[in-house]
Chain A
């Protein structure tokens, strides 16, 4: 796998007619976004941004709209109000045909992996490459590289039904990484997994963050995972995740927190731990 995705040359953009923002642009920017589904708003007046090289961890209890926010980010859902900028393009009014092209620049890891049952691990990971008509030899090479990154090279020819929950998530991460995305979206990547497997997944996310430096938005309700991400780094020499020195945190990993559809916190781990917000304090305790 190419370890410098920034050097990868982007293909011809079908979005040439869309007007990008002037100046340095955040990878993702929400401005006063609201959405409802046949009832009270699920998200209301959400504003935040994700800059290049940043990892933002979206915290909140179950059912608060975290996954909805993630699906709004790459246009899988459309907001009722507000604007969403992705790679400098306003995606809220964008036709689905144009969105398909834009989405190929972002990788997404779904809650349960969302692997295609009828395809082998190789074809799942290579899904995007197959659609683009990449030659089989190159596909095999890149799939093996991606699977090696998640330490699952031996699953190359298996089908998703024969994988455990943790292995499915790791294959999903490989699928999201194979196209060298410019943004990664993780939807509760450790949800429903045992602590050991969760740590393996978090280690992979830390490895991805520190090796490729891809901007990421990660949804979780598990504080332990969020804190591990913030207080650890990947040591390439040792080939594993190691804790940062005591009192240090990753400066590019910050937090967002949702409560009943509202964004109630946006800041660093230090700010999170010292906030006076009653709901955040209850959540942390």
Chain B
């Protein structure tokens, strides 16, 4: 015959705490899976809209202007000063080996392969993922999205798809701007602060570049652009809870987009390096 085991109070408390912790993890995991599922459907819908009419080309041009032209100054400045810092740092290290002539090569390869795309992605994410999330979020909480649906217009087509493709295409060109100004910034530091030979800097920067480096640098912004717009619009369109919800959606959009850009960059670099090695 078996007797029921009487649990002591601390044991019962421990069991309750464990159950609560497991429930919490369970809820968080389910929420995460649900969010990923919703995001995948959202992104799929946004992409597929490009292949079915109606297409809103004026909205695409407006968003290209907002994202592309509007972000040029921050991308240009961040690229220029990042290139400058790279030249400063590398020159001091390379001089120990008597290899300061390699500064141009170092700056151009680092900017084009890695820093140009990632930095541009993060900068544009800070500016545009936040603006998309807050703009669409405000439209959700003030019922403007419902009003658009009630007027027979699909907000995914009118608001999300143009932002997505404008962001992808503009990030490509912004990355080229960041790369160019990064190399110029490095050149400025090399010539006017390190007092080294300018033509040598630019010729080593040019000669170091190979076709795979350019491809690597220009494939990444396509992914970053997709991440910025899809995440910004996704969090904006699922905003709830009034103005506080808009603030929450904006923070989530910027954090998620920035982390995802770096995360995806890591895997893309691995894939592209193995492809071109």
Partner of B143, one of A74, A112, A127: A112
- Give 10 CB contacts A-B under 8 Å: A103-B149, A103-B150, A103-B151, A103-B152, A110-B150, A114-B142, A115-B147, A116-B148, A117-B142, A128-B152
* Interface residue ranges, B against A (CB under 8 Å): 54, 138-139, 142-144, 146-154
Closest-CB distance, B139 to chain A (whole angstroms): 8
Which chain A residues lie closer than 8 Å to B151 at the CB level? 103-104, 127-128, 131, 175
- Are A131 and B146 within 8 A (Cβ)? no
User: Does A106 belong to the interface (CB within 8 Å)?
Assistant: yes
User: Does A108 belong to the interface (CB within 8 Å)?
Assistant: yes
A19 to B199, CA, bound (A): 77
User: Does A100 belong to the interface (CB within 8 Å)?
Assistant: yes
Most buried by A among B138, B146, B150, B153: B150
Nearest 10 interchain pairs by C-beta: A104-B152, A114-B147, A114-B143, A108-B150, A100-B152, A110-B143, A103-B152, A128-B151, A114-B144, A76-B146
A127 to B139, CA, bound (A): 16
Which chain B residues lie closer than 8 Å to A260 at the CB level? none
User: Does A71 belong to the interface (CB within 8 Å)?
Assistant: yes
- Are B150 and A74 within 8 A (Cβ)? yes
User: Does A199 belong to the interface (CB within 8 Å)?
Assistant: no
A71 to B149, CA, bound (A): 11
Most buried by B among A96, A108, A114, A127: A114
A110 to B147, CA, bound (A): 7
Partner of B150, one of A76, A97, A116, A131: A76
A131 to B148, CA, bound (A): 11
A131 to B149, CA, bound (A): 12
A131 to B142, CA, bound (A): 21
- Within residues 101 to 141 of chain A, which ones have a CB less than 8 A from any CB in chain B? 101, 103-104, 106, 108, 110-112, 114-117, 127-128, 131
Which chain A residues lie closer than 8 Å to B152 at the CB level? 100-101, 103-104, 128, 131
Interface digits, A81-104 against B, CB 8 Å rule (1 contact, 0 not)?
A: 000000000000000110011011
Which chain B residues lie closer than 8 Å to A115 at the CB level? 144, 147
Closest-CB distance, B265 to chain A (whole angstroms): 33
Residue of B whose beta carbon sits closest to that of A131: B153
A127 to B152, CA, bound (A): 10
Closest-CB distance, A134 to chain B (whole angstroms): 14
Interface digits, A193-228 against B, CB 8 Å rule (1 contact, 0 not)?
A: 000000000000000000000000000000000000
- Are A114 and B149 within 8 A (Cβ)? no
- Are A117 and B144 within 8 A (Cβ)? yes
15 further A-B contacts with Cβ under 8 Å, apart from A114-B146, A128-B151, are: A71-B146, A76-B146, A96-B154, A97-B154, A100-B152, A100-B153, A103-B149, A104-B152, A110-B150, A116-B144, A117-B138, A117-B142, A117-B144, A131-B54, A175-B151
Closest-CB distance, B242 to chain A (whole angstroms): 12
Which chain A residues lie closer than 8 Å to B149 at the CB level? 76, 100, 103
Closest-CB distance, A28 to chain B (whole angstroms): 14
Residue of B whose beta carbon sits closest to that of A124: B147
Residue of A whose beta carbon sits closest to that of B62: A118
A147 to B201, CA, bound (A): 66
Which chain B residues lie closer than 8 Å to A106 at the CB level? 150
